[in-house]
Amino acid sequence: MQNSNPILVEHEKFTVLIVDDENLARKLLGEYVAKLDYLELAGNCTNAIDALTVIQKQQIDILLTDIQMPNISGIDLVSGLVTVPAIIFTTAYSEYAVESYELWVVDYLLKPITFPRFLRAIDKAVRRVQSSRYISQHHLKNQDIIISQQELQERDYIMIKADFKLYKVHYNDLIYMEGQQEYVTFHTTQRNITAYYVLKNLVLLLPASHFVRIHKSYIVSIRHIDIIENNTVQIGSLKLPIGASFKEDVMKVLI
Query: Regarding beta strands 39-45 and 14-19, do their DSSP bridges make them parallel or antiparallel, or are they unpaired?
Result: parallel
- Picking from 68, 102, 137, the residue at the C-terminal end of a domain is 137
pLDDT of residue 180: 83
pLDDT confidence of residue 162: 77
Residue 143 lies in a domain: no
Residue 51 lies in a domain: yes
* Cα–Cα separations (whole angstroms), residue 49 to 70, 71, 130, 208: 10, 9, 27, 41
Domain extent, residue 89, equals 14-137
Q: Where among 137, 169, 196 does a domain terminate?
A: 137
Q: Which pLDDT does position 207 carry in this prediction? A: 82
Residue 176, judged by CB atoms within 10 A of its CB (0-12, 13-18, 19+), counts as buried
pLDDT digits (tens, 9 = 90+) for 111-120: 999 999 999 9
Q: How many whole angstroms separate alpha carbon 174 and alpha carbon 199? A: 15
Identify whether residues 31 and 106 lie together within a single domain. yes
Over residues 166-193, the mean pLDDT reads 90
Flag whether 142 is in a domain: no
Q: Identify the CATH number of the domain in which residue 84 sits.
A: 3.40.50.2300
pLDDT at residue 160, rounded to an integer: 83
Q: Which of 96-110, 126-140, 194-208 is modeled with the greatest confidence?
A: 194-208
Residues 24 and 105 in one domain: yes
pLDDT tens per residue across span 36-92: 999 999 999 999 999 999 998 999 999 999 998 988 888 888 888 877 799 999 988
Domain membership flag for residue 8: no
d(CA 222, CA 231): 16
Give residue-wise pLDDT tens across range 120-179. Answer: 999 888 887 876 676 555 444 444 444 555 555 567 888 787 776 778 889 999 999 998
Q: How many domains does the chain have?
A: 2
Looking at the structure, do residues 26 and 121 belong to the same domain, yes or no?
A: yes
Amino acid 153: pLDDT: 55
Report pLDDT for 95. 63
Buried b (16+ CB within 10 A) or exposed e, 16-46: bbbbbeeeebbebbeebbeebeebeebbbbb
> Do residues 227 and 127 share a domain?
no
SS3 145: coil
User: Is residue 145 one of the residues assigned to a domain?
Assistant: no
Instruction: Report the percent of the chain where pLDDT is more than 90.
Output: 46
